[in-house]
Amino acid sequence: MSRHYLDHASTSPARPEAVEAMLPWLAGQGGADPGRVHTEGRMARAAIEEAREQVATLLGARSREVVFTSGGTEAVNAAVWGATRARPGAAVVCAAVEHSAVRDASHRHAPVVEPAVDGWGRVRVEAVVELDPSQLALVHCQWGNHEVGTLQPVAEVVAWAREHGLLTHVDAAAAAGHAVVDFDGLGADLLSVSAHKLGGPKGVGALVVRRGLRLDPFIVGGEQERARRGGMENVPAIVGFGAAAAALAGDAGSRLRSEADQARTRTDGLAAALTAMDGVRRYGDAWRRLPHIVCVGVEGIEAEAVLLGLDQSGIAAHSGSACSSESLEPSPVLEAMGVDAERSLRLSVGWSTTDDDVGACVAALPGVVERLRALR
């Protein structure tokens, strides 16, 4: 049986460009310390700086603003740590629809204020601007939602925070590589991304830090990354991240736009086919959304059974239900939207998705649902 992978929003397979770029460094070139002055060390340093420029180009940032991390989760924790240390005791604005890394890091280091969201999972701007800025240290606003794909009012939230002198952090892990991200144009202070979400290797990400902003480093013990993140750089992974970013940003971002157009066409097709079934409704904004994600609710059937049925048909998918992941609780994103996470199904496409993958899901899901409902 052939397999069809429709879970790119969780992690996307490494692009051939990333794998090819990493191989020489995995085979031996990457063994040198990039902080040393010998030839091998300088070669490693040059490779890191080239990757830094490639990632910066993809994100609309300056290369010196990019701090490489072990992934998006570390980048988020570093952002929260630095911002809350700069203003101890002040609260963090963090909606329930933010990723668990953002929510958990915020709750660990500061009091949290949760602005309301609407039925599409979008933060209500009016719930943010009514807050007292003097009591706040940091404002989070993700670029696009990782469960339902809804684009957030990030420009409006960042503009309000800047007007009041507040630090802002944007989680762009779900968006980067799937939508145009312009860090400098947005005017945010901090932005986090993860390489494996866009076809780079696992175990590497970046925190983009606005030029001139100085925050205490989250990981100490070395002067790497211009003293902003201690620890030996993961040269092979960083090089792979850079190669994936360069593949998307090349030719003025034509590949990114082409992949986004294909993704939207495929997820629109998936959504149309799924919602044509009885008892299936779409979650999230169908228009202002990330192009590669579609999320639906399947009435009367628990998500785990649907996922297992799809898996037996050769299709990998995801759900916001508690039983479909390591979490013991259902998705707080869907809960905040007022929908049933235990009946959710998320399908997400990526650079390696084909029309056959989409067609296989469209063909298999009605039979899976019909069989499960017959057993009810």
Mapping DSSP onto H, E and C, the string for 148-189 reads CCEECCHHHHHHHHHHCCCEEEEECCCCECCECCCHHHHCCC
Quote the pLDDT of residue 325. 57
Quote the pLDDT of residue 161. 98
Measure the CA angle with vertex 367, ends 286 and 309; round to 5°. Answer: 85
Q: In which residue are the tokens 């719930």 written?
A: 127
Quote the pLDDT of residue 324. 52
Quote the pLDDT of residue 254. 93
Q: Which two tokens stand for residue 43?
A: 């070669």
The tens place of each residue's pLDDT in the chain, 376 residues long, gives 799 999 999 999 999 999 999 999 998 766 789 999 999 999 999 999 999 999 999 999 999 999 999 999 999 999 999 999 999 999 999 999 999 999 999 999 999 999 999 999 999 999 999 999 999 999 999 999 999 999 999 999 999 999 999 999 999 999 999 999 999 999 999 999 999 999 999 999 999 999 999 999 999 999 999 999 999 999 999 999 999 999 999 888 899 999 999 999 999 999 999 999 999 999 999 999 999 999 999 998 988 999 999 999 999 999 986 555 566 577 889 999 999 888 899 999 999 999 999 999 999 999 999 999 888 7
Quote the pLDDT of residue 376. 73
Quote the pLDDT of residue 340. 86
Q: Which two tokens stand for residue 110?
A: 């500061």
Q: Are strands 4-5 and 315-316 parallel, antiparallel or unpaired?
A: parallel
Quote the pLDDT of residue 320. 81
What are the residue numbers of the active site? 323
Q: What residue ranges define each of the domains in the chain, with the CATH number in brackets?
A: 4-12+253-375 (3.90.1150.10), 16-249 (3.40.640.10)
